[in-house]
Structure 1
């Protein structure tokens, strides 16, 4: 654990309330902010989550997004980071809507009642996805007429709920990362390795399209900058400074974990057809059968999705601290059991 200074910078909150603290992003946020001297109160809905956030240096507050006592947990907190979400990319579900939509509404209502003055809502570029390419998109890009799936739809609703809290006195900024990666990943990388190890991975249309990505350290830095300098009611894309070919990046991640590179390819039209048919069968089954692939799962990984981060650079003072090469080297070092010099500096 990082040694904390006696007090945080005057630009940072003395006490921060965090949702999703035991998740991938949340764990890294706790490490970062406690390292800066910020007291972090982290919502914990299970004993395992409570132990995780406590070991990282946060003070756990037992409950979930819909707990009636959230206001009490937020008492004395100057800022909120809402990072909790149901990120399931399978078929839309009532459970996902309850977490992403109802949960966000309850969290921001509690924040207003607790008189929290500043909030950052963790969103996603997926709010703009409809299944087609998204090329060099900036924050002026409108929501699509039809979302790619349940995750995109519920996160778009959550984003609008968070922004509406501005009218209740909570100065809210939204950050939208894309393809979060790096050390301590318990989401994307483990799923990728599982698919590769099971022989179930294939390049869609060869994977020769471009993508934006967001190293976890860059995201955490972006959230800090959003807390300090974000304009209330505004959205900001947070991503690595360069875009990369999807196939090249996934290959580099696999190589860092000692995995052979997949060669199998499938045409996009085929997997899209499978997704459409599978979703219809799942609907007819009343949710008792789950499709192997959905249009939501394809939306961020089967076409180009690239973001323009100019607004974050200009308005937030966003300066990504970790390059792609550094992030990949760190992954390789961790895989080999080595502790890199950068590991002790973060």
Structure 2
């Protein structure tokens, strides 16, 4: 069976492409002309260049049975608002329309727990929870929420669309890197003398890839499935990294107002003067509250694996070091 994949050059997409090939699927991957193709090198994949908003995109899909729409624009910079909505919302609308026109049998859309939002005071939430859009911090989260609504509307009109909401994946091939990969990198580079008192849900990126394939095979159209595993405080994650690497974990927390002040000055004052900002304001605002999730629905209904996070962290550490990310 031939599968069309968007976002195959990215972290989750690259692992999904590998899994699909291992499971006997033929893969056609949509990439932008400017994409870094390192994650797809030496793989038996048909690569097609294009754009999510191309009105003729359906023509690239006509020989495929299934679609994984993984691609998204990720940015926490407030200046990227227009790009986020164009790629994530309008792009998703166009990709789903193309799938309809090409008569794709089933689509798996990669949303994010960012679209669900967070519970109050570290509350663990599941797929039934939804923050109002005005409570979602930043345009990235809002754009992912609106893009997920496009997927749900397509499902409501009879299109077979299943939504998956990955939490924070960990592992190799984090080429960009993702925010979680950036935490690991800053720890390895000794650029984290202090930490914020917050927390996240983490999962092995290979389990996220399996979650996508299982959603294709077993997911209910119009439903969403959180692809997550373990809720950890940032302190617990850093202590795991310390145990793996032998490096010391930071011992002091920093009050949220301090990075908020730095980020506000960076984005609101220095950036308009031409200085590249170093800390995204929305990123700090997000981190003020723990982001904990319950993935039991995906475990129960899809059979989502729950692999060791320690092993995933070791994979990430080895990949970053061997890839020259750490001097």
1:329, distance to aligned residue in structure 2 (A): 3.9
1:317, distance to aligned residue in structure 2 (A): 2.5
1:56, distance to aligned residue in structure 2 (A): 2.0
Matches of 1:313 and 1:94, distance apart in 2: 36
1:343 counterpart residue number: none
Are residues 299 and 318 of structure 1, via their aligned partners in 2, closer, same or farther at CA, if it must alter by over 3 Å? farther
1:220, distance to aligned residue in structure 2 (A): 0.8
- Residue-pair matches, total: 317
**Equivalent residues of 1:118, 1:227 under 8 A apart:** yes
1:235 counterpart residue number: 224
Determine if the alignment matches structure 1 residue 71 to structure 2 residue 62.
no
1:10 counterpart residue number: none
Determine if the alignment matches structure 1 residue 150 to structure 2 residue 118.
no
* Structure 1 unpaired stretches of 5+: 1-13, 338-346
Matches of 2:170 and 2:143, distance apart in 1: 22
**Equivalent residues of 1:16, 1:38 under 8 A apart:** yes
Determine if the alignment matches structure 1 residue 88 to structure 2 residue 75.
yes
* Structure 2 unpaired stretches of 5+: 323-327
Matches of 2:320 and 2:281, distance apart in 1: 32
Determine if the alignment matches structure 1 residue 325 to structure 2 residue 310.
yes
Which range moves more in the overlay, 193-202 or 226-235?
193-202
Aligned residue runs from structure 1 range 172-183, under 5 A: 172-183=161-172
RMSD value, Cα: 2.8
Determine if the alignment matches structure 1 residue 314 to structure 2 residue 296.
no
1:109, distance to aligned residue in structure 2 (A): 0.8
Matches of 1:77 and 1:252, distance apart in 2: 42
Matches of 2:28 and 2:172, distance apart in 1: 23
1:300, distance to aligned residue in structure 2 (A): 4.6
Are residues 161 and 238 of structure 1, via their aligned partners in 2, closer, same or farther at CA, if it must alter by over 3 Å? same
Matches of 1:217 and 1:37, distance apart in 2: 17
Determine if the alignment matches structure 1 residue 159 to structure 2 residue 148.
yes
Matches of 2:140 and 2:61, distance apart in 1: 27
Which digits, 9 at most, give the CA deviation of each residue in 1:264-320, with x for residues without a partner? 53101333344456554479x4x9666443342125534321111121122222232
Aligned residue runs from structure 1 range 1-346, under 5 A: 14-46=1-33, 49=36, 52-53=39-40, 55-91=42-78, 92-129=80-117, 133-144=121-132, 145-186=134-175, 187-188=177-178, 191-192=182-183, 195-196=186-187, 197=189, 199=191, 202-204=194-196, 207=197, 209-240=198-229, 242-253=230-241, 256=244, 259-276=247-264, 278-281=266-269, 285=272, 291-320=277-306, 322-331=307-316
Q: Give the TM-score taking structure 2 as reference length.
A: 0.85
Matches of 1:56 and 1:192, distance apart in 2: 29
Matches of 2:182 and 2:281, distance apart in 1: 18
Q: Give the TM-score taking structure 1 as reference length.
A: 0.81
